[in-house]
Amino acid sequence: MHIPDGYLSPSTCAALYAGSTPFWYASLNKMKRRLNTQAVPLLSVFAAFSFVIMMFNLPLPGGTTGHAVGMGIAAIVLGPWGSILAISVALAIQAIFFGDGGITAIGANCFNMAIAGSLMAYAVYRVIAGGAAIESSRRVAAAAVAGYCAINVSALLAAIEFGIQPALFHDASGAPLYAPYPLHIALPAMMIGHLTIAGLAEAIVSGGVVAYLQHAEPALLRSTAPGAAIAGESAGWSGTRPLWIALGVLLVLTPLGILAAGAAWGEWMPEDFSSPAARQQMAAASANQAPPAQAPAGLQRLATIWTAPMPRYAPPMLKSPQFGYILSAMAGTGLIVLAFLTGTWIFTRVRR
């Protein structure tokens, strides 16, 4: 679901950057009172959780892979604006440092996952949870449904963005310039896997973390409970220690994320279009319709616009994929914390 460089036209990318900007601005304004040393740990740990959970690839129908995102639980604990901020930071770091999602497509990926996903999760959770007590099992069910709806809305938006490219952007012969498959292929190819496996994973993550927090840190669930004061202001680093410990366990387990074979749908590299084995996998995941004989011209041109320092979570200096994956997860987590600390320092200086 991380759209790479070259799959969306420059005008599509520009439109989605423009569409995301008001939400980024609003989230910063809404969160500015909480952007202090007490709130930074909470924003950081959920941004890092999203980053790490997206590294656990799952096999999907058609031989592709997918993953949970974590926007459901982020929206429940941080509220929609905090979730937009946290998930956007995670997605930007993935794109810039690890090549997971394109630089040109940061706006699109944030719009789909951080913005639409967070807003959907928050709305569904509030409607289903209603006025239930913090410890109610109804909140666990509400969280699971919220996460399921959120990831599928995100997948639907990505599928539409992929699918409209061949109709809107093609050469004189009708050959697509960017994403090669039209809507009638992109929609089922993206949605079947997310309505089943990936959606179920997001539901389990959201519901499971809420159930854990009900017993371990119920105060973190109060910010999205009606009539409750905003929680998390006094959490600090020590107050979020159990969450960081749980995140540390996930970091150690990240090599499990490379066990699933195959690429995510719509995330093929230009050279895959000329590889017989990759072409067979692409066709199998796309209603048995073969891809173009070579990568679309626009895709080839934009795919190399940025080279990430640790592409695909595989630092070039390391020969062990497993160790490289763990190191990438640790580096990503550190970069997220650094980004929030730096942003808070800058924000504090500007306010003075």
Are 75 and 96 within 8 A, CB to CB? Answer: no
pLDDT tens digits, residue range 277-306?
A: 999 999 999 999 999 999 999 999 999 999
Mean pLDDT of the 142-146 span: 98
Structure tokens at 217: 């840190």
Question: What CATH code is carried by the domain that includes residue 150?
Answer: 1.10.1760.20
What mean pLDDT do residues 219-242 have? 69
Tell me, what amino acid is at 208?
Answer: G
Please give the full DSSP string across 74-118, using - where no structure is assigned: HHHHHHHHHHHHHHHHHHHHHHHHH-SS-STTHHHHIIIIIIIIH
Contact present, 144 and 207 (Cβ < 8 Å): yes
- Let me know if residue 226 belongs to a domain: yes
Determine, yes or no, domain membership for 219.
yes
Residue 163 domain boundaries: 10-351
Check pLDDT > 50 for residue 262. Answer: yes
Residue 185 resides in a domain: yes
Least confident of 35-49, 172-186, 252-266, 331-345: 35-49
Nearest CA among 44, 52, 43 for reference residue 70: 52
Q: Within a domain: residue 342?
A: yes
Residue 316 placed within a domain: yes
In a domain, 59, yes or no: yes
171, burial (CB in 10 Å: exposed 0-12, middle 13-18, buried 19+)? exposed
In a domain, 5, yes or no: no
Higher pLDDT, 56 or 36: 56
Enter the pTM of the model.
Answer: 0.94
Instruction: Give me the pLDDT at residue 352, please.
Output: 60
In a domain, 321, yes or no: yes
pLDDT at 285: 95
Number of domains making up the chain: 1
Average pLDDT, the chain: 93
